[in-house]
Structure 1
Amino acid sequence: MNNHEIDFKLHGDDMQFVEVELDPAETVVAEAGALMMMEDGIVMETIFGDGSTSSGGSGLMGKLMGAGKRIITGESLFMTAFTNNGTGKRHVSFAAPYPGKIIPMDLSMLNGKIICQKDSFLAAAKGVSIGIEFQRKLGAGFFGGEGFIMQKLEGDGLAFVHAGGTIYRKNLQKGEVLRVDTGCLVAMTGDVDYNIETVPGIKTALFGGEGLFFATLRGPGSVWIQSMPFSRLASRVFAAAPQNPAGRSKGEGSAAGGLFDLLGGR
């Protein structure tokens, strides 16, 4: 076991947070800004890169390589490590950034590797390597909805991934194929073959409302699917937001709105 062994408890339903229990000298690493609360005795430290010892060594060059991976995936240069410097068990909690579910993943039970959306990682036991995964096929990279690069979590410890809406895990048998909206793919084990296909039929592609591409996942392996990608949620919120300078939608108000119109407010 190269990673720290941590215990955890999930709280909540649609706006979850994860409470991690640390024994003395144990450490958990999280994305900057994920902290919700921590007990006395836990010390937080900003670290360069992902803080793992398996990302090119523990020297300056290893730290630079770890930080470089995070730049490529669009993440911050720094992460935050939370270490229990007390004599007893202490707890630290991390909150999800938007409505959805937190998925605990024991990498030792998943062949030591998970490929996930670049924005889905929340926290992990110290020692988990947070790297990059280049898609082997250019089509998957340019049209996959997550860009040419996805995150790769490697190790034998616990990692926590967050996604929107309801999360569904699908175990694919050898040769079994699943087609998924590109934005709904959260994570997959390293043995799943991932590619992009175009939506068949010009009318379906242009007027079907489902986009021009979908992800094709071929087993064996496990995949995690989200029912509400953040991009879909954001687009609906933006579409419903007021689009006029007064900051009010046309359906707002009644008497007050009519008086505003009579006074030349629009």
Structure 2
Amino acid sequence: MNNHEIDYEIFGDDMQFVQVELDPGETVIAEAGSLMMMDDGIQMETVFGDGSSSGGGLMGKLLGAGKRVLTGESLFMTMFTNERSGKKHVSFASPYPGKIIPMDLSEQGGKIICQKDAFLAAAKGVSVGIEFQRKLGAGFFGGEGFIMQKLEGDGMAFVHAGGTIIKKTLSPGEIIRIDTGCLVAMTRDVDYNIEMVRGVKTALFGGEGLFFATLRGPGSVWIQSLPFSRLASRVFAAMPQNGGSKGEGGLGGLFDIIGGDR
């Protein structure tokens, strides 16, 4: 076991948070801004990259942190270490409505590939890197872009996604097609590609976009029902300046009430 072995508990339904229990000397890493609360005695430290390796010198750390920039993440992550003698707790909150998925990487072949903004927190020692898609079609047209995140190690990692989450286990050769934005994560052996929607009318008027993701087993795939991009586009479309309702019963009215509009 190279990663710290942490215990955890997930609270809530649609706006969840995960509470991690740290024994003395144990550490958990998390994305900047995800902290909800922590006990006295936990030390915070900001580090380049994921802090999974202490070697390599400054240049190695800069290169590791620079990879995170390609996935749209911050250069820095935060480490939370229990420096007291008893057990301590630290909690991390979901950034938007959805579910937190706990993943034991030792049970998933030591590697999970996920969408670039899905990672929430993990035991120290889990490496958070980038995964280049082998096929250009997946890169240029996939909802998650050419680059996805990879989580490697043998410890616990926590991934967040929107809406309801379903896990599909694919047998060898079994294929499933999903909306590109609904893909959350997959195990290392799943073959991932992008296919164009067949038929001009379906492509132009189907309302589902021009492309969908094709995943071929064996392996496991996690799928979300509400990608954040879809949620954001609906909220944006409902705003008054974009033609949405301006009445008190609409979203525009809610914004007026919150903003104290007179």
Smaller-chain TM-score range?
A: over 0.9
Name which of 86, 89, 92 aligns with 1:88.
86
- Aligned partner of 2:165: which letter? I
Corresponding position of 1:17: 17
Q: 1:227 & 1:139 partners in 2: Cα distance? A: 24
Corresponding position of 2:42: 42
- Aligned partner of 2:127: which letter? S
How do 1:27-106 residues align onto structure 2 when only pairs under 5 Å count? Answer: 27-53=27-53, 57-106=55-104
Q: 1:66 & 1:92 partners in 2: Cα distance? A: 26
The aligned length equals 250
Q: Is the 8 A contact 1:14 1:99 kept in 2?
A: yes
Greater Rg over alpha carbons, structure: 1
Q: 1:109 & 1:217 partners in 2: Cα distance? A: 20
Corresponding position of 1:154: 152
Runs of 4 or more off by more than 6 Å in structure 1? Answer: none
Q: Is the 8 A contact 2:237 2:244 kept in 1?
A: no
Q: 1:146 & 1:165 partners in 2: Cα distance? A: 17
- Alignment gaps of 5+ in structure 1: 258-266
- Alignment gaps of 5+ in structure 2: 254-262
Q: 1:124 & 1:98 partners in 2: Cα distance? A: 19
Corresponding position of 2:218: 220
Partner SS state of residue 243, structure 1:
helix
Q: CA deviation at 1:150?
A: 0.2
- Aligned partner of 1:233: which letter? L
Q: 1:158 & 1:58 partners in 2: Cα distance? A: 24
- Aligned partner of 1:221: which letter? G
Q: 1:96 & 1:248 partners in 2: Cα distance? A: 28
Partner SS state of residue 241, structure 2:
coil
Q: 1:119 to 1:5 in 2, by over 3 A?
A: same
Q: 2:98 & 2:218 partners in 1: Cα distance? A: 27
Partner SS state of residue 151, structure 1:
strand
- Aligned partner of 1:11: which letter? F
Q: 1:22 & 1:87 partners in 2: Cα distance? A: 10
Q: 1:80 to 1:208 in 2, by over 3 A?
A: same
Q: Is the 8 A contact 1:243 1:249 kept in 2?
A: no
Q: 1:117 & 1:138 partners in 2: Cα distance? A: 17
With the length of structure 1 as denominator, give the TM-score of the two structures: 0.91
Q: Is the 8 A contact 1:32 1:78 kept in 2?
A: yes
Q: CA deviation at 1:248?
A: 8.4
Q: Deviations over 1:148-192 (max 9, x none)?
A: 100000000000000000000000000000000000000000100
Q: 2:80 & 2:246 partners in 1: Cα distance? A: 49
Q: Is the 8 A contact 2:121 2:159 kept in 1?
A: yes
Name which of 122, 126, 129 aligns with 1:131.
129
Q: Is the 8 A contact 2:238 2:244 kept in 1?
A: no
Partner SS state of residue 51, structure 1:
coil
Q: Is the 8 A contact 2:142 2:180 kept in 1?
A: yes
How do 1:174-193 residues align onto structure 2 when only pairs under 5 Å count? Answer: 174-193=172-191
Q: 1:235 & 1:63 partners in 2: Cα distance? A: 36
With the length of structure 2 as denominator, give the TM-score of the two structures: 0.93
